[in-house]
């Protein structure tokens, strides 16, 4: 084990014991200490699910990337494990960037991007991103002496040597495959496909798909997997321009439904859609469960809106793991069913009448910041319906449906922010025959909304003081709703 990895492990162990009890999320993965971003290595290994992540233990802002590590049996209760990778070799000395993992013959194989970024003696700047392998037992991992196992020399001529990252490894039969993002000769994103018999020696197979300048620039964090009778490609484009309410400016997470031509090794895709329409969601990655479900998690933070309060010893939250299905060529996302085991203290209200004249309506027993709440509303006679969440002492975050626009909007303007950051985002929703169904998960600092049984997801973080637990409802016109709420206790 290297000195850098030893230091990181000792530091996180010391600091995590100093984190105040109850200061982090209850059922969402958060770090022991420091900064986290992209989920990495989401995989099944020896009957448990492991999740690694981009990690800088020494501060709550991005720094030289390590791989943090946790595991779970049910996607809800997470167990902290020691830091898995540190930037400690010549080829990854400036960062162990994003990647993935697969189980093989009792070993856990991690595939990641090593970053070399240095000034040479003659004044030249050298920047290279290469793909590397580490093999371990679920706790300790050894980097292959053959690393890096893939360099940009394997890519088509004219491809970038500086932007080549985020490998996604899987195994079919006796063959390993991996896709990775890079920039092509036209300066826009492409997804390269590689194969290997042993995960050590790799060969280039094809450009699986290419951006063509259509969706942003670099395509980060690709994930490529079968779902029902289709093939799914998820990518996280950089530098996108907003398009209506489907895509926003900057870093997005988008998906394509399509088919995979295995002979030509090409992905044939249909139109692109957003994975999540909220203010904070990026770099999702999936795993196949033992019972055949496809489960996804993403990073609940925006690169361009850093909200973490200064006094926090940690920064970064992973989304609730979500089960994926397909319906009419759309990804359907719902929280993993295991969450239902942790529901307690059910509160139910039926036939609640709301009116503009009555103003805000509070319901007995409906309050809290760690909850799972489903609201089914009749909005046929209202111009707008608003849910007031995390409310109290001048604080609130609102979720508003406007019938005339057909939109659902998250607004965290009054969530307690002290900086002029982006606070609102909207998406088009379908109020089916005047009915709207919303499932809300809140976990102290998170708000995840699933519309109409998972047709759309909208995720945002809010750093409102935890004692602001009020929940109320208001409308323009008249509305009625049924509600059921549970506390989540882990």
Q: Give the alpha-carbon dihedral of 108, 109, 113, 118, to 10 degrees.
A: 80
Query: For residue range 430-449, what is the model confidence (pLDDT) as tens digits?
Result: 998 999 999 999 999 999 99
pLDDT at 408: 98
| Catalytic machinery residues | 38
Query: For residue range 263-315, what is the model confidence (pLDDT) as tens digits?
Result: 999 999 999 999 999 999 999 999 999 999 999 999 999 999 999 999 999 99
Distance CA 155, CA 131 (A): 12
CB 88 within 8 A of CB 4: yes
Domains of the chain (ranges; CATH) run 3-335 (2.115.10.20), 343-488 (2.60.120.560)
Q: For the chain, give the longest Cα–Cα distance.
A: 75
pLDDT at 122: 87
Which of 371, 403, 379 is CA-nearest to residue 478?
A: 379
CB 178 within 8 A of CB 166: no
Strand bridging mode 314-315 / 34-45 = parallel
Tokens 């092509």 locate to 184
217 to each of 129, 210, 220, 265, 485, how far by Cα in Å?
A: 17, 10, 9, 23, 42
pLDDT at 120: 85
pLDDT at 303: 96
pLDDT at 239: 96
Distance CA 229, CA 258 (A): 9
Q: Which residues of the chain, if any, have pLDDT below 70? A: none
Phi, psi of 144, deg, nearest 5: -65, 140
């Amino acid at each position: 084990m290297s000195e850098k990895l030893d230091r990181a492990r000792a530091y996180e162990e010391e600091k995590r014991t100093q984190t105040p009890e109850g200061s982090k999320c209850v059922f969402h993965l958060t770090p022991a200490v420091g900064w986290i971003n992209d989920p990495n290595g989401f995989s099944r290994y020896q009957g448990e699910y492991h999740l690694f992540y981009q990690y800088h233990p020494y501060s709550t802002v991005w720094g030289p990337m390590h791989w943090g590590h946790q595991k779970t049996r049910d996607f809800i209760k997470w167990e902290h494990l020691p830091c898995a990778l540190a930037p400690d070799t010549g080829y990854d000395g400036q960062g162990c960037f994003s990647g993935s993992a697969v189980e093989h013959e009792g070993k856990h194989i991690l595939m990641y991007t090593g970053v070399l970024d240095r000034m040479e003696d003659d004044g030249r700047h050298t920047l290279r991103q290469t793909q590397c392998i580490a093999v371990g037992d679920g706790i300790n991992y050894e980097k292959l002496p053959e690393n890096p196992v893939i360099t940009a020399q394997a890519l088509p001529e004219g491809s970038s040597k500086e932007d080549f990252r985020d490998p996604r490894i899987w195994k079919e039969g006796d063959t390993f495959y991996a896709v990775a993002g890079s920039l092509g000769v036209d300066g826009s994103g492409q997804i390269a496909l590689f194969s290997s018999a042993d995960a050590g020696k790799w060969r280039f197979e094809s450009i699986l798909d290419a951006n063509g300048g259509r969706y942003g620039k670099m395509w980060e964090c690709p994930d490529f997997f079968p779902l029902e009778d289709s093939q799914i490609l998820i990518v996280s484009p950089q530098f996108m321009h907003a398009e209506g309410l489907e895509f926003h400016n900057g870093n997005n997470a988008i998906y394509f439904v399509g088919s995979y031509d295995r002979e030509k090794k090409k992905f044939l895709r249909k139109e692109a859609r957003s994975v999540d329409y909220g203010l904070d969601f990026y770099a999702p990655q999936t795993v196949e469960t033992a019972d055949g479900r496809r489960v996804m998690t993403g990073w609940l933070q925006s690169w361009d809106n850093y909200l973490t309060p200064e006094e926090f010893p940690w920064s970064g939250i992973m989304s609730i793991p979500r089960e994926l299905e397909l319906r009419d060529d759309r990804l359907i996302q719902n929280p993993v069913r295991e969450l239902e085991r942790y529901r307690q203290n059910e509160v139910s209200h039926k036939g609640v009448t709301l009116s503009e004249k009555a103003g805000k309506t509070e319901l007995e027993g409906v309050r809290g910041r760690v909850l799972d709440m489903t609201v089914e509303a009749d909005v046929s006679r209202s111009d707008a319906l608003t849910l007031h969440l995390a409310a109290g002492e001048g604080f609130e975050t609102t979720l508003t449906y406007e019938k005339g626009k057909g939109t659902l909007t998250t607004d965290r303007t009054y969530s307690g922010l002290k900086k002029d950051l982006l606070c609102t985002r909207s998406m088009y929703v379908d109020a089916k025959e005047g009915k709207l169904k919303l499932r809300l998960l809140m976990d102290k600092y998170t708000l995840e909304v699933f519309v109409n049984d998972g047709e759309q997801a909208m995720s945002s973080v809010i750093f409102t003081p935890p004692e602001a637990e009020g929940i109320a409802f208001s409308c323009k016109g008249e509305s009625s709703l049924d509600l059921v709420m549970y506390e989540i206790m882990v």
